[in-house]
């Protein structure tokens, strides 16, 4: 067991982990942060996406010990002060159906918009291309992100 500490949604947190513990599982089962989901455990689906030091990454492919001293944002953090304009647009457009892919999808889009407030449709598709959704056919999600970039 190793004690690590990192910033989770703006709060400094400490936790004891074994080297074989995956970040996704530590977040979910040891720290009570449930929005990152498991959908493949192999980096294919993007449901476990979190923002690590500003980048959207797969928390199922990271050992928890690796993030010592770093900063993690999950959807809980993004929602802390109410819905972001991105979340609001997705809500109003009924962009999601079952909602299981939503946390990962939103964080991938959030990373894109943080770096590029006015992306093209192609850039939007590229940014969320690692987040699998089986319900929506993606178009409503893309349209919602697009509507937001036009509004700005």
Binding to other proteins, residues 29-48 (CB under 8 A) = 32, 34-35, 37-47
Q: For residues 2 and 118, which CB has a smaller minimum distance to other proteins in the complex?
A: 2
Q: For residues 122 and 150, which CB has a smaller minimum distance to other proteins in the complex?
A: 122
Residue selected from 8, 15, 27, 57 as contacting other proteins according to rule CB under 8 A: 57
Helix, strand or coil for residue 12? strand
Q: What is the dihedral of CA 19, 25, 28, 29, to 10 degrees?
A: -70
Shortest spacing between CB 150 and other proteins, in angstroms: 19
What is the distance between the alpha carbons of residues 133 and 131, in angstroms, rounded to a whole number? 7
Residue selected from 56, 73, 113, 148 as contacting other proteins according to rule CB under 8 A: 56
Task: Name residues contacting other proteins, limited to 76-135 (CB under 8 A).
Answer: 76, 78-79, 83, 87-88, 90-92, 94-103, 106, 108, 124-135
Shortest spacing between CB 12 and other proteins, in angstroms: 20
How many Cβ atoms sit within 10 Å of the Cβ of residue 47?
25
For the chain, first and last CA: distance in Å?
47
Nearest to 24 by CA among 3, 10, 45: 45
């Amino acid at each position: 067991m190793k004690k690590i500490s990192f910033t989770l949604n703006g709060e400094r947190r400490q936790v004891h982990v074994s080297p074989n513990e995956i970040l996704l599982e530590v977040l979910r089962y040891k720290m009570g942060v449930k929005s990152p989901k498991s959908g493949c455990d192999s980096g294919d689906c993007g449901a476990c996406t979190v923002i690590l030091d500003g980048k959207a990454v797969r928390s199922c492919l990271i050992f928890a010990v690796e993030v010592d001293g770093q900063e993690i944002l999950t959807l809980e953090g993004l929602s802390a002060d109410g819905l972001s304009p991105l979340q609001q647009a997705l809500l109003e457009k009924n962009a999601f159906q079952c909602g299981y892919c939503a946390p990962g999808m939103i964080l991938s889009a959030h990373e894109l918009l943080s770096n590029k407030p006015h992306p093209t449709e192609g850039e939007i598709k590229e940014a969320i291309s690692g987040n699998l959704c089986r319900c929506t056919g993606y178009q409503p999600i893309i349209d919602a992100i697009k509507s937001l970039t036009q509004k700005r």
